[in-house]
Amino acid sequence: MRSLFAVANRPEVVSLAGGMPNIEDLPRAALGEAAAKLIADHGTQALQYGSGQGEAFIRELTCEIMALEGVNANPDDVVMCAGSTQGLDILTRVFIDPGDVILTEAPTYVGALSTFAAYQAQIVHVEMDGDGISMAALDQALATVRAQGKTAKFLYTIPNFQNPSGITQTMERRRELVEFAEKEHLLILEDNPYGLLTIDGTPKPALRSLESDQIIYLGSFSKIFSPGVRLGWIVAPPAVREKLVLTQEAATLCPSVFSQFLVKTYFDTFDWRSQIVEFNDMYRARRDAMEDGLAKHMPEGMTWTHPAGGFFVWAQLPQGLDSQAMLPRAVTAKVAYVPGPAFYADGFGSRYMRLSYCFPTPERIFEGTRRLGDVIKAELAMRATFGLDALEDGQTSPEQAPLTGKDQHGQGPAPDIL
Ligand code: PMP
């Protein structure tokens, strides 16, 4: 896949694979001037080592941001890290011994699967419905894990515009989930990088806003400002927080002080709330182009989700088609996507694909869906010619996925498709 994606990044290919935020609209020239002034005026601090927990001023800023989603956090509760990716890494390092169980949605974020695999966690997938993680499936999965004499160390969930499915948990489901976690003493890891990227402009209250100590929250500046600053944060209860700070110090001494100063400069100097509204308008136009293109170009039997924010549409191919086998033909036809199995720890998902609409222009996205539609129609025509539909195709739906999975993520994904 890595070598295919090297080809997919060529300009003639419409990449619906990448998960990179579109930061064209950031006020780069003015930010450059502000950065020069920052170095001139505060360089001795900004270019120095800092606190392992992160600087107080940026932890205060994260609380202001989280308040938009109803989270009432104290700056003391926050640990800064190198993107939420490093947050996931240090949390996994603290909680997981080899063989420990982590519950995750099915499908789930490929980067989290890589991190969990690096610490040899056993992933137990829990299916989703249109309202988020299925409570009945979660109940069943936890019971199965416990019946095996194991403890689920935590549930990893992305409640908003989930990567890769685009599904958002309803408020009712959020309440049910938090109630369940309290009752079962199940720790939840809430990963929320997309929460403010709502197409209707109204962010949903975070799970953490339901005031439970069972919830550790992960936030990120990557989608509301810049992924290049590599700055995210964790909100955790005191006992966990101290271990996280020690782990962070062991890993990097401290998160980048310069990035913290730069982010603070941006948030102090520019109208970041209006910038998020602008980002959302820009992503809405791209989401609409994706939906229009899919509606126009996809053959019968193809279905897809309708995200209300974030970057991703999750599509299911007609019966018998395999997204992984089809990828080389798609790239030859100059369109790329991420095949479904990347988002499962156990190799399932071959009938699915993630289509992202965050980066190319709306026109390119529409053209990408046309090329993809042609590839899928050609696959269907080939199957019909050879009578393959009559044969058993061995396709297994995620509902039939076994609860335990083996690591398939040793190498990890290329960063630009995350
Ligand atoms: N979690 C999810 C669900 C993501 O989609 C991403 C980025 N694609 C991340 C975490 C990582 O973000 P960061 O840049 O903060 O490390």
Average pLDDT of the chain to the nearest whole number: 92
Alpha-carbon gap, residue 212 to 210, rounded angstroms? 6
**Is ligand 1 within 6 A of the CB of residue 193?**
yes
Give the pLDDT score at 1: 64
| pLDDT over 90 percentage in the chain | 86
Kindly give the distance from the C-alpha atom of residue 229 to the centroid of ligand 1, in angstroms, as a whole number.
13
Q: Which CATH number fits domain 28-269: 3.40.190.10, 2.70.160.11, 3.90.550.10, 3.40.640.10?
A: 3.40.640.10
Higher pLDDT, 238 or 140: 140
Mean pLDDT of 56-79: 97
**Is ligand 1 within 6 A of the CB of residue 331?**
no
Task: Give 400's pLDDT tier (boundaries 50, 70, 90).
Answer: very low
User: Counting beta carbons within 10 angstroms of the beta carbon of residue 61, is it exposed (0 to 12), middle (13 to 18) or buried (19 or more)?
Assistant: buried
Kindly give the distance from the C-alpha atom of residue 257 to the centroid of ligand 1, in angstroms, as a whole number.
20
Mean pLDDT of 187-206: 95
Burial 107-138 (b: 16+ CB within 10 A, else e): bbbbbbbbbbbbbebbbbbbbbeebbbbbebb
Alpha-carbon gap, residue 103 to 180, rounded angstroms? 14
Token digits of residue 268: 């102090």
Query: 119-123, 207-211, 223-227, 284-288: which has the minimum mean pLDDT?
Result: 207-211
Task: Give 394's pLDDT tier (boundaries 50, 70, 90).
Answer: very low
Alpha-carbon gap, residue 310 to 156, rounded angstroms? 18
**Is ligand 1 within 6 A of the CB of residue 418?**
yes
Alpha-carbon gap, residue 121 to 108, rounded angstroms? 15
Q: What is the pLDDT of residues 78-102, one digit of tens each?
A: 999 999 999 999 999 999 999 999 9
Q: What is the pLDDT of residues 125-135, one digit of tens each?
A: 999 999 999 99
> For residue 48, which of 254, 231, 299 has the smallest C-alpha distance?
254
Mutation choice for ligand 1 from 191, 224, 359, CB with most ligand atoms inside 8 A = 191
Task: Give 417's pLDDT tier (boundaries 50, 70, 90).
Answer: low
170 has a pLDDT exceeding 80: yes
Alpha-carbon gap, residue 194 to 216, rounded angstroms? 16
Mean pLDDT of 100-106: 97
Mutation choice for ligand 1 from 163, 252, 338, 359, CB with most ligand atoms inside 8 A = 163
Kindly give the distance from the C-alpha atom of residue 85 to the centroid of ligand 1, in angstroms, as a whole number.
6
**Is ligand 1 within 6 A of the CB of residue 166?**
no
| Residues whose CB falls within 8 Å of the CB of residue 394, separated by 6 or more in sequence, listed in order | none
Which amino acid residue places its CA nearest to atom 5 of ligand 1?
Answer: 163
Q: Which bin fits 102, alpha (ψ -120 to 50), beta or left (φ > 0)?
A: beta
Alpha-carbon gap, residue 202 to 217, rounded angstroms? 20
Mean pLDDT of 161-185: 97
Give the pLDDT score at 397: 45
> For residue 53, which of 267, 258, 247, 259 has the smallest C-alpha distance?
247
- Name the helix (H) or strand (E) containing 32: helix 28-46
Mean pLDDT of 284-289: 98
Kindly give the distance from the C-alpha atom of residue 377 to the centroid of ligand 1, in angstroms, as a whole number.
33
Q: How many CA atoms lie within 13 A of 32 on its CB side?
A: 3
Atom number of ligand 1 nearest to Cα 109: 3
410 has a pLDDT exceeding 50: no
CATH architecture of 2-24+274-395: Alpha-Beta Complex (3.90)
Q: What is the pLDDT of residues 208-245, one digit of tens each?
A: 999 778 999 999 999 999 999 999 999 999 889 999 99
Which amino acid residue places its CA nearest to atom 12 of ligand 1?
Answer: 84
Higher pLDDT, 211 or 390: 211
CB 293 within 8 A of CB 370: yes
399 has a pLDDT exceeding 50: no
> For residue 155, which of 118, 135, 129, 181 has the smallest C-alpha distance?
181
Give the pLDDT score at 407: 34
Question: Position 367: which residue type?
Answer: E
Alpha-carbon gap, residue 216 to 241, rounded angstroms? 10
Q: What is the pLDDT of residues 289-343, one digit of tens each?
A: 999 999 999 999 999 999 999 999 999 999 999 999 999 999 999 999 999 999 9
Task: Give 391's pLDDT tier (boundaries 50, 70, 90).
Answer: low
- Name the helix (H) or strand (E) containing 378: helix 362-386
**Is ligand 1 within 6 A of the CB of residue 164?**
no
Alpha-carbon gap, residue 17 to 342, rounded angstroms? 12
408 has a pLDDT exceeding 50: no
Question: Residue by residue, what is the 3-state secondary structure of 64-85?
Answer: HHHHCCCCCCCHHHEEEECHHH
Single pTM value for the model: 0.93
- Name the helix (H) or strand (E) containing 406: none
Mean pLDDT of 162-172: 97
**Is ligand 1 within 6 A of the CB of residue 84?**
yes
Kindly give the distance from the C-alpha atom of residue 244 to the centroid of ligand 1, in angstroms, as a whole number.
19
395 has a pLDDT exceeding 60: no
Q: Where are the alpha helices (DSSP H) in 68-209?
A: 83-95, 110-118, 135-147, 171-184
Rg, Å, the chain Cα set: 21
Domain borders along the chain are: 2-24+274-395, 28-269
Give the pLDDT score at 176: 97
**Is ligand 1 within 6 A of the CB of residue 165?**
no
**Is ligand 1 within 6 A of the CB of residue 109?**
yes
